[in-house]
Amino acid sequence: MEKGTVQIIYGSGKGKSSLALGRCVDAVSRGKTAIIIQFLKGNLNADRLGVIDRLEPELQVFRFEKSAESFANLSEEEKSKELMNIHNGLNYAKKVMTTGECDFLVLDEVLGLVDQKIVSVDELRKLLAAREESMSLVLTGTVLPEELKKEADVITHLEEC
């Protein structure tokens, strides 16, 4: 059984989620299964994901947040309600990682959870440590904490020009 990799895609540039999705499609085309768990995006663009439905069950996308708005645009009261949903998404991610439910897992905008102080770097590192060794993992977000760099096999930095 081959060892999975940890890839981090981050930066201010557009296309981080699209790049991660492309890596999922590549994995699925090689006979692997993939799951994308999205954070902080709300359900605003959920209709854009409809094309992915055709790739099920090999590729599945999950969003646990209920609001139509992205987390950054919510009021403090709305944010506190969404925190439970975000933690449900993190718990599901841990379950997927410990059970080996897929071969390729994307935690889309999970770095934003650290940036928004929803989880600490240590909590995220513990989550990464739960990963089955054969599972490949992609983390995306705008800001990459220095402490997480050593967790990655590949780091891709996207910038707006």
pLDDT greater at residue 68 or residue 86: 86
Give residue-wise pLDDT tens across range 129-161.
999 999 999 999 999 999 999 999 999 999 887
1 in helix, strand or coil? Answer: coil
pLDDT in the model for residue 54: 65
Residues 107/93, Cβ–Cβ less than 8 Å? yes
pLDDT band at 119 (very low <50, low <70, confident <90, very high): very high
Pick the CATH number of 6-157 from 1.10.3860.10, 3.40.190.10, 2.40.160.10, 3.40.50.300: 3.40.50.300
* Alpha carbon separation from 34 to 25, 59, 102 (Å, rounded): 8, 5, 5
